[in-house]
């Protein structure tokens, strides 16, 4: 299953960055998106997100994430435009301030959600975990918990698809249901998914203890994640983005 969080191997400049640098770039983009209401600056951040995906050689994944977010953004745009009463009426009950506010909301949503998904697409979870422990001194237990949660997301989705296929074979018409009806059909499947998740979590905990989980330290990693000139250039780019957000604000 080609999940949006699945790692895509490559040798692009984004792949070669230190995992901490990629995480910092993600955080800076998100911070800048919340610091300003300028639509042009938000569009610039969106262009940066798209550029990251294309430079990393994951254009297909980037467009897939973008299309998925657009579907959610369209609903939020209409809702925000209808609920805002301030400003000059443009059409029916929709005002100019409502349209501007809705544009900011959807742009912020897309800008904030895209970089993390793209970083996970070009970074191994193990590399991200080890880099956090090595450079940021994050306790390994917390880094392992984060990595495990990310790894389990595609597995949970695969298990849900397996349960739905089994139910479809028994005559449940998941492929014909739409909207709220399909949601009401999926809700009863949460119980078997929860049971299998608890079982998997217990098995993972036992396997980690057997492999000396509590003996792991910062020096246990076999690989060292150094910073290069590419990372320095990214730090400078992050500083410029942050300075631009502050000036525009």
Give yes or no for residue 1 having a pLDDT over 60: no
Q: What is the pTM of this model?
A: 0.76
Report the alpha-carbon distance of residue 39 to residue 97 in Å, rounded.
13
Helix (H, G, I), strand (E, B) or coil at 89: strand
Given a contact cutoff of 8 angstroms between Cβ atoms, the answer to whether 98 and 80 are in contact is yes
CB 75 within 8 A of CB 35: no
Instruction: Copy the structure tokens of residue 145.
Output: 């918990």
pLDDT of residue 128: 85
- pLDDT tens digits, residue range 182-192? 667 777 777 77
Q: At residue 223, does pLDDT exceed 90?
A: no
Helix/strand/coil for 41: helix
For 121-187, give the secondary structure using H, E and C: HCCCHHHHHHHHHHHCCCCHHHHHHHHHHHHHHHHHHHHHHHHHHHHHHCCCCCCCCCHHHHHHHHH
Greater confidence, 209 or 174?
Answer: 209
The pLDDT of 9-13, averaged and rounded, is: 87
Averaged pLDDT score across all residues of the chain:
82
Cα angle 193-194-199, degrees, rounded to a multiple of 5: 100
pLDDT (0 to 100) of residue 127: 85
Per-residue pLDDT at 220 exceeds 70: no
In a 3-state reduction of DSSP, which class is residue 212? coil
Tokens of 182: 């399909």
Please give the average per-residue pLDDT across 136-162, as a whole number: 77
**Which residue reads 């739905």 in tokens?**
164
Average pLDDT on 140-165 reads: 77
Q: Cα separation of 4 and 62, whole Å?
A: 9
111 — pLDDT class (breaks 50, 70, 90): very high
131 close to 225: Cβ distance less than 8 angstroms = yes
pLDDT digits (tens, 9 = 90+) for 194-219: 777 777 777 777 777 777 766 666 66
- Rounded to a whole number of angstroms, the distance between the first and last alpha carbons of the chain is 42
104 with 42: CB under 8 angstroms?
yes
């Amino acid at each position: 299953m080609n999940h949006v969080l699945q790692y895509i191997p490559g040798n692009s400049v984004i792949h070669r960055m230190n995992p901490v640098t990629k995480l910092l770039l993600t955080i800076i983009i998100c911070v800048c998106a919340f610091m300003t209401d300028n639509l042009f600056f938000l569009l610039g951040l969106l262009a940066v997100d798209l550029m990251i995906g294309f430079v990393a050689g994951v254009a297909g994944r980037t467009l897939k994430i973008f299309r998925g977010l657009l579907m959610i953004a369209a609903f939020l745009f209409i809702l925000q435009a209808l609920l805002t009463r301030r400003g000059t009426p443009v059409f029916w009950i929709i005002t100019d301030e409502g349209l501007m506010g809705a544009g900011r909301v959807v742009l912020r949503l897309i800008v904030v959600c895209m970089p993390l998904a793209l970083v996970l697409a070009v970074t191994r979870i193990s590399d991200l975990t080890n880099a956090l422990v090595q450079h940021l001194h994050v306790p390994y237990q917390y880094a392992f918990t984060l990595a495990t949660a990310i790894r389990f997301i595609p597995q949970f989705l695969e298990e849900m698809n397996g349960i739905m296929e089994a139910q479809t074979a028994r005559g449940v018409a998941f492929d014909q249901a739409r909207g709220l009806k399909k949601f009401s059909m999926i809700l009863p499947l949460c119980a078997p998914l929860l049971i299998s998740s608890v079982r998997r979590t217990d098995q993972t905990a036992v396997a980690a203890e057997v492999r000396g989980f509590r003996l792991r330290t910062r020096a246990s990693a076999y690989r060292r994640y150094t910073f290069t000139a590419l990372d320095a250039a990214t730090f400078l780019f992050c500083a410029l983005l942050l300075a631009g957000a502050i000036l525009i604000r």
